[in-house]
Amino acid sequence: MNKSVKAVLPATEIDMGGFPVKQALPKQQFAQLDPFLLVHHGHGKYSNRRPAKQQGIGPHPHRGFSPVTFVIEGAVHHRDSRGNSQVAKQGEVQWMNAGAGIIHSERPSEEIADARDKGDLSENAEYHAAKEEQSLLETKIAKLKNVVASARIIDESQLDVSKILIHSIIKIKNTTNGMEFSYTLVADSESDIKNGKLSVNSPIGKGLLGKELGDVVEIKVPNGIMSFEVTAVSR
């Protein structure tokens, strides 16, 4: 199929906390494009006047967002409030899912910056790096405090374990294609879908709460309506 280019719109340069990026999307000219699609091209250059840990984009939040980073040249050092630290180098791709919320920073790689700086060791470099680490740790501490403050003791002997509750171990079957899934329903802070831990606040988690063995439930998900049969419930 032959396709033609109708228009070429230049990216708009914007400032993200002192770091220049070119924003290709969103643009007002594309009225019917997905409003959640964001395309940025970072083209900042290292400065030999400041340490790498003082450059790039400092700690900032994401929630319900999946940033994908393609490194065309150089390297990017990613750190976040969950303790992850990773350097994506030229030609590599980094994909981060920030579902329930995360704070992260994107800085130049220290190794590359050190090579370029040629020994420019500002006496305050360690201080600024420590301040950034402190900011990330304080975010983690605040989240843990919220978890502890909202926690309550549950006497499982008083629960109707025939119903699906938080910490129930369940098996469900997609009534359309017959595929089966096993999950443990957990709080948002424990959610880990790769390891079978499903948040009770997810669309499927909410739809299953209170259901029993043999129940068939229709659940609204981003792709439409899905129907599941509960095939096992335990704790």
The pLDDT tens digits of the residues spanning 86-115 come to 888 888 888 887 777 788 788 776 655 554
What count of other Cβ atoms lies within 10 Å of the Cβ of residue 56? 22
- The CATH number for 12-121, chosen from 3.40.640.10, 2.60.40.10, 2.60.120.10, 3.40.630.10, is 2.60.120.10
Picking from 80, 77, 84, the residue whose alpha carbon sits closest to that of residue 136 is: 80
Q: Is the dihedral of CA 119, 42, 5, 3 positive or negative?
A: positive
Instruction: Choose between 168 and 74: higher pLDDT.
Output: 168
By mean pLDDT, which of 29-38, 159-168, 186-195 is the weakest?
A: 29-38
Average pLDDT score, the chain: 78
pLDDT of 229 strictly over 90: yes
- Please compute the mean of the pLDDT values over residues 6-33 and round it to a whole number: 75
Q: What does the domain layout of the chain look like in residue ranges?
A: 12-121, 157-234
Instruction: Tell which CATH classification among 2.170.120.12, 3.40.50.1000, 3.10.50.30, 3.40.640.10 matches the domain 157-234.
Output: 3.10.50.30
Residues 149-168: pLDDT tens digits? 877 777 777 778 889 988 89
Res. 118: pLDDT tops 50: no
CA 110, CA 132: separation in Å to the nearest integer? 14
Dihedral sign, Cα of residue 25, residue 26, residue 31, residue 33: positive
